[in-house]
Amino acid sequence: MSSASIPNTKADGLRAVCALYMRVSTKGHGQTTDTQALALGEYAQRRGFEIFQEYSDEGISGTKDSRPALDRLMKDARSRKFDVVIVARFDRFARSVSHLLRALEEFNHLGIDFVSLSESIDTSTPMGKMIFTVLGAVAELERNLIKERVHMGISRARKQGKRLGRPKRILIESRRK
């Protein structure tokens, strides 16, 4: 489906408002967010979106879940200031799958669509929703496997007679004279 055939309006018929997020890891080494901004702006224009704001983190690693511009984007998302978040690539937004999925789940809950140009993911389309559903299922499987391993580890430790929990504290009562 071409970007021209994807609706650029919300259910109420109003023009959709988007936020553009870009990030580069290094600052001052010739890398800027300008290339990403150009591609994201062109995409938004082709789709007929109104650009609410550009959020740009320069010189900040993607491994950090908390980044100044990303934090502002998430705050504005929770205030429902836009309908769509557009990024150049997943790794510009999040470096870990768990961080990406947490953000996508929050956007889904808020009714905000997510578009990644490089991966051709658009959660406003049926194919994009299917991919989000598959990613969500994988994340749920991962959470369940971790939970299962933790329970197995606790069970093994108990069978080996290991004490679990915090160590007991011995309280010494002081006498007043």
Catalytic residues: 25
Cβ neighbours for 59, distance < 8 A, ≥ 6 positions apart: 24, 25, 26, 27, 28
Rounded to 5 degrees, what angle do the CA atoms 85, 34, 96 make? Answer: 50
User: Taking the C-alpha atoms of 50, 79, 22 and 36 in order, what is their torsion angle to the nearest 10 degrees?
Assistant: -10
Look at residues 124, 58, 119 and name the one whose alpha carbon lies nearest to residue 85: 124
Q: Hunting for tokens 């993607």 — which residue is that? A: 62
Q: Hunting for tokens 């609410």 — which residue is that? A: 52
Q: Around Cβ 145, how many Cβ atoms within 10 Å?
A: 10
